[in-house]
Structure 1
Amino acid sequence: MKSIFLIIFISFNIMAQDIINGDIQIAKIESKFAGTLTVDSKKREWLSNPSDENIKFTIVTAGYYKKGEIILRNDFNGDIDEIIFKVINGQYKKEKISVESSKVTPPKELLKRIEEERNEANKIYSTKTHGLKFNTTFMLPMDSVITSEFGTARVFNELVKSYHSGTDFRAAIGTPVVSSNDGIVVIAKDRYYAGGSVVIDHGEGIYTQYYHLDKIGVKLDQKVTKGEVIGLSGATGRVSGPHLHFGVIVNSVQVNPINFIKKINALF
């Protein structure tokens, strides 16, 4: 049968599409043809498009270290369509950052705290609350210059420790930070690496992160609306100076927040 996917214009039952490591692609389908959906053989659910009841969609994520291919399959009463996503390297840059030595190699007495904070966050990100909590486009958490892009290899005190899992915005201490969209606060606390942290659940495995805050203005389980001030920027946690770190998690995968906003907003 003719392909029912709308993500690209090629009309075949098997299609190819590139996806950059650390990025997303959105596949859309007419609601009446939405069948059993799998991504790399793992079952997923088609999501209702908030702006068009005749269209459903899913977000395909490629982790930063992902290589090879991702296969999306829709089985509609035995008629199968596939999109094969070829993962391509994002050619990310490196940057050197000087921070307190304890933020690169933490004291042994703090390792338990760090592990507990990591486990708490991972448990939250692996949880998918049913239904999207937003029905409008996403917005940036502040209007400012980007000082560090997603995916950059982070060289802390001459040691490659990680990659940049979000986007940094220039922000003096005390600059208001707003929620990117409607949702529920699932983290609101000080953490060792992230400092003052707010994480918002937007439903269906979509989370936004706001780190290094000087002041947290929301509480756990609080409902927030798009554009609502959730805190003030700062220089807490592992930083070289004041700024806002903004991140996005989708289906437990950290993705490029700027590209996520551009692509999810195209649904509206």
Structure 2
Amino acid sequence: MRVVFSLLIFALFSWGNTIFNGGLEIISIESDYAGELRVNDKSSLWLDHPKKDGVKVAFIPVSYYAKNDINITNSLNNQSSSMLLKLEQKSYKKESISVAPAKANPPKNVMKRIEKERDEATQIYRTFSPNLLVNSQFISPMNSFITSQYGNARVFNGSVKSYHGGVDYRAAIGQSVISANDGIVRIAKDRYYAGKSVVIDHGGGIYTQYYHLDRIDVKVGQKVLKGDKIGLSGATGRVSGPHLHFGVVVQNIQVDPLVFIEKFNSLF
């Protein structure tokens, strides 16, 4: 469904005017009418359309923890147009997972490491480059099937610790993992929870995450192309067995990677 606003030719491409927590919408506008964009009174970012000249797009990510509707406003030359996305709370499942006790309840001597790694990642995700680094559709990071969906509550050793911020691909140790699109490597290191990890910056505040690797084949600052091998799947970090965790962050908000790929790829 396409909703067009008469003022400033403000368009929303979606299947309706509702959105789920953990979801994403993409709005589009003719470049000449792209003004100050605000989402729930916070400044947001117009980007060049990856395929069409003379068109801007903006990504509207919604937090897993969101409780309120999303109000979007575009203002230019003392005129403004707005739209409202109605938030529908999605019901996510619970998953029980058995891991090493130290991974479910970390000892105090590793908490500084965990906090440092979290702060480092947050600082990266808060950095929005003004241009997309991609000009084609995203692909899956490996040829496998998904065993765990985004949003499921994670019950580690009997206690709810978090929600699942991505999807898990079934994988044995040592299978090739590829970049889902062009970008620049921002993280390539072993981390306490995520294990051997790679995070790739695709521009515009879009990042993909590849966790629990057995081996990392890229370095921070390295440019990668879609389909480049970045490492091998493994069982490092907080896991119950080998697999690939694949996540997507948009403007510092963790969203459902399958929804993101579907929405982004619809631009082409």
TM-score band (shorter)? Answer: over 0.9
Aligned partner of residue 129 in structure 2, secondary structure:
coil
Q: Which residue of 2 aligns with 1:12?
A: none
Q: Could you tell me whether the CA contact under 8 Å between 1:62 and 1:87 is conserved in 2?
A: no
Equivalent runs, 1:175-190 vs 2, <5 Å: 175-190=175-190
Aligned partner of residue 82 in structure 1, secondary structure:
strand
Q: CA deviation at 1:45?
A: 2.4
Equivalent runs, 1:70-219 vs 2, <5 Å: 70-219=70-219
Q: CA deviation at 1:69?
A: 1.3
Q: Which residue of 2 aligns with 1:7?
A: 12
Q: Which amino acid aligns with 1:213?
A: L
* Superimposed CA distance per residue, residues 7-55 of structure 1 (whole angstroms, 9 cap, x where no aligned partner): 159xxxxxx8211001101111122221221111122221110210122
* Superimposed CA distance per residue, residues 79-100 of structure 1 (whole angstroms, 9 cap, x where no aligned partner): 2111111211111111100111
1:264 to 2:246 alignment:
no
* Superimposed CA distance per residue, residues 172-221 of structure 1 (whole angstroms, 9 cap, x where no aligned partner): 00000000111000000000000000000011110000000000000010
1:49 to 2:54 alignment:
no
Q: Which amino acid aligns with 1:2?
A: S
Aligned partner of residue 32 in structure 1, secondary structure:
helix
In the aligned structure 2, how far is the partner of 1:101 from the partner of 1:198? 25
In the aligned structure 2, how far is the partner of 1:8 from the partner of 1:104? 41
CA RMSD across the alignment: 1.5
In the aligned structure 2, how far is the partner of 1:7 from the partner of 1:266? 12
Q: Could you tell me whether the CA contact under 8 Å between 1:97 and 1:156 is conserved in 2?
A: yes
Unaligned runs of 5+ in 2: none
In the aligned structure 2, how far is the partner of 1:227 from the partner of 1:38? 35
1:62 to 2:62 alignment:
yes
In the aligned structure 2, how far is the partner of 1:67 from the partner of 1:104? 28
Q: CA deviation at 1:5?
A: 2.2
Q: Which amino acid aligns with 1:253?
A: I
In the aligned structure 1, how far is the partner of 2:167 from the partner of 2:53? 32
In the aligned structure 1, how far is the partner of 2:266 from the partner of 2:253? 21
In the aligned structure 2, how far is the partner of 1:213 from the partner of 1:148? 17
Once the two structures are aligned, what percentage of the paired residues are identical? Answer: 55
In the aligned structure 2, how far is the partner of 1:165 from the partner of 1:44? 22
Q: Which residue of 1 aligns with 2:249?
A: 249
Q: Which amino acid aligns with 1:60?
A: I
Aligned partner of residue 6 in structure 1, secondary structure:
strand
Q: Which amino acid aligns with 1:107?
A: P
Unaligned runs of 5+ in 1: 10-15
C-alpha change, 1:126 and 1:151, in structure 2 (3 Å) is same
Aligned partner of residue 102 in structure 2, secondary structure:
helix
Aligned partner of residue 50 in structure 1, secondary structure:
coil
TM-score, with normalisation over the residues of structure 1?
A: 0.95
